[in-house]
Amino acid sequence: MNAMQFILVILVALVCGMASVMDERQFHRPIVACTLIGLVLGDLHTGIILGGQLELIALGWMNVGAAMAPDSALASTISAIIVIVGHQSIGEGMAIAIPLAAAGQVLTIFVRTIAVFFQHQADHFAAQANFRGIEWCHIGALFLQGLRVAIPTGAVAAIAGTSIVSQWLNDIPPVVTHGLQVSGGFIVVVGYAMVINMMKARSLMPFFFIGFILATFVSGMNLVGLGILGACAAVVYVQLNPDFHDSIKAPAAATSAGTDDDDVLG
Amino acid sequence: MTESTELKKVQPLTKRDIISTYFRSTFMLGSFNFERMQAIGVCVTMIPAIKRFYHKKEDQAAALKRHLEFFNTTPWPASAIFGVTAAMEQKKAEGGDIDEAAITNVKIGLMGPLAGIGDPIFWGTARTILAALGASLALSGSILGPLLFFFGINIVRMLTRWYGFQVGYRQGTDIVQDVAGNRLKKLTQMASVLGLFVMGSLVSKWTNIKMPLTLAHYKDQAGHLVTTTLQSTLDSLLPGLVALLMTFACMWLLKHKVNAIWIIFGMFAVGILGYWAGIFGL
């Protein structure tokens, strides 16, 4: 890794860290972050594949309400560096990504606590109608979130090419690395469970099972096909649902039921 | 809100104000903190409107203070709330019959319902499905995967923010009826059906559980040696059953407020112990 690459890696990590708290432009998602690190380090191909693998694991990770997702930014940047610069396998990269996601979560909790200070500072500026002051409070807290990822990533980038890292990774007993790869096959369900719980739609669970059964028994159907089927199911469900037809709910107006199909796609 | 005759003329937001508000809103969560969550971001987003509507220092200070109160909702559709809030601020600046509490109440009142719509549509369905599609392409090393995800989700985001603000600003408090009404409920239900459908298929398609543990050996009538493994036994019942059960276990744990990261570590422990004991294989 040359000096230019080192700087670019830190810049990418800074952007990912800021994106991680904002959840806006999605630079913190593994599929984007790993790709960018791969691009910067001159191994785009590996970055994309690792990003895809990690994205599967992180699929349902989301910030809902006050609950925070495991941090995909730190996990993506560091594991991409370890895999590309430290010459490790994709499987190894996935295994180390999870503890990193936990570490990243702890760090963001720390920064979000510090940001309370900025909040009070902003109150201060508001009393004086100081617009600039409030804006700087905002930017300051945002920048800290960027540093939260950039500093650890920079530290790893500095030592990733040395034998310390490979030594350390080689010292992990094979039963652990293989076991981690085994769990990589089913750790995705945590994300799926987060999505299902968030939907809060128990009455719609039959659609979950229909999707499961179709994917299990109809071989050769890819994700696009399943997505189109799901979209059709969604439209038909809403069209037939009596909740959305006032005319059916009110028995007196039942005769006009046929004309009432204002669909949202229109 | 009755129109009184002595209304001042206040200049509405200009195109530049709206663009500036949009740009600021895309940094909304930057200073997320545990005390008032998205508050500073909301205030920073409202600054162009506050500057446009209020010119006296104490009015500006009061408005800034109003928008530094607790706020937390799904970020992208929150732009609609900013639109409504801007419309109310404008009315207030004109000397309309709106007090501070009304503005705060509408903001707080829209937060919950909007998250109820926004979380399933944007996090549960749009991002999940685009990410799943992108990842399935990326696994073969195709740059199309990241590009599809990144541009797809950002187009959704920008349209939501840009038009959300406009609709909110134009309709003002009338939007409250929209949020409570059938159209958005329909959209949410459709997103939930699609999201759950895809989740179901992913549980089957994108989990990889191999259980080579041998249960029995026997010779069939033709004399071939047949090995029954845990995998083959479960597959004859329902392929993917273990993944399905694991999903339900995770849902149960999450419902009981177990942090996702602990569940993930628990899964690692299961994987390592299972591999060590020979139940799971690669």
Q: Which of residues 77-106 of A touch B (CB under 8 A)?
A: 98, 101-102, 105
> Which is higher by pLDDT, B173 or A131?
A131
Residue A150 maps to a domain: yes
pLDDT above 50 (res A253) = no
Of the candidate ranges A118-122, B159-163, B215-219, the one whose mean pLDDT is the lowest: B215-219
CA of A220 vs chain B CAs: smallest distance (Å): 11
pLDDT above 60 (res A248) = no
| Structure token digits, residue A211 | 């999707």
Residue A19 maps to a domain: yes
Say how many domains are in chain A: 1
The ipTM assigned to this model is: 0.88
**Interface residue B214 vs chain A (CB under 8 A):** no
Residue A211 maps to a domain: no
Neighbours of B68 (CB within 10 A): 23
- The residue of chain B nearest to residue A264, with distances taken between CA atoms, is B183
Neighbours of A172 (CB within 10 A): 13
Residue A58 maps to a domain: yes
> Which is higher by pLDDT, B43 or A253?
B43
pLDDT above 80 (res A246) = no
Q: Which of residues 97-156 of B touch A (CB under 8 A)?
A: 115, 119-120, 123-124, 127-129, 131-143, 145-146, 149-150, 153-154
pLDDT above 80 (res A179) = yes
Q: What is the pLDDT of residue A161?
A: 81
Tell me if A199 and B195 make a contact (CB, 8 A cut-off): yes
Residue A16 maps to a domain: yes
Per-residue confidence at A241, pLDDT binned at 50, 70, 90? Answer: confident
Do A105 and A71 form a contact (C-beta atoms < 8 A)? yes
Residue A202 maps to a domain: no
- Which residues of chain B are within 8 Å of residue A116 when distances are taken between CB atoms? 33-35
How far is it, in rounded angstroms, from Cα A206 to Cα B52?
A: 51
Expressed as residue numbers, the domain containing A54 is 3-173
Sign of dihedral through CA atoms A221, A223, A229, A230?
positive
**Highest mean pLDDT pick, A182-196, A203-217, A237-251:** A203-217
CA of A164 vs chain B CAs: smallest distance (Å): 25
Cα angle B177, B183, B187; round to 5? 130
pLDDT in tens, B26-36: 999 999 999 99
- Which residues of chain B are within 8 Å of residue A183 when distances are taken between CB atoms? 267-268, 270-272
Average pLDDT over residues B231-260: 92
SS3 B281: strand
The DSSP H or E segment spanning B217 is strand B214-219
Residue in B64, B189, B205 closest to A215 by CB: B205
Chain mean pLDDT for chain B? 90
Model pTM score? 0.89
pLDDT above 90 (res B197) = yes
pLDDT in tens, B134-156: 999 999 999 999 999 999 999 99
Residue A195 maps to a domain: no
Average pLDDT over residues B66-94: 94
**Interface residue B234 vs chain A (CB under 8 A):** no
Residue A217 maps to a domain: no
pLDDT above 80 (res B179) = no
**Interface residue B202 vs chain A (CB under 8 A):** yes
Per-residue confidence at A254, pLDDT binned at 50, 70, 90? Answer: very low
Average pLDDT over residues A131-148: 97
How far is it, in rounded angstroms, from Cα A84 to Cα A93?
A: 9
pLDDT above 60 (res A258) = no
User: pLDDT exceeding 90 applies to what percent of chain A?
Assistant: 63
Q: Which of residues 139-178 of A touch B (CB under 8 A)?
A: 139-142, 145, 175-176, 178
Do B181 and B246 form a contact (C-beta atoms < 8 A)? no
- Which residues of chain A are within 8 Å of residue B157 when distances are taken between CB atoms? 24-26
- The residue of chain B nearest to residue A133, with distances taken between CA atoms, is B44
Chain mean pLDDT for chain A? 88
Cα angle A68, A74, A80; round to 5? 140
Tell me if A134 and B47 make a contact (CB, 8 A cut-off): yes
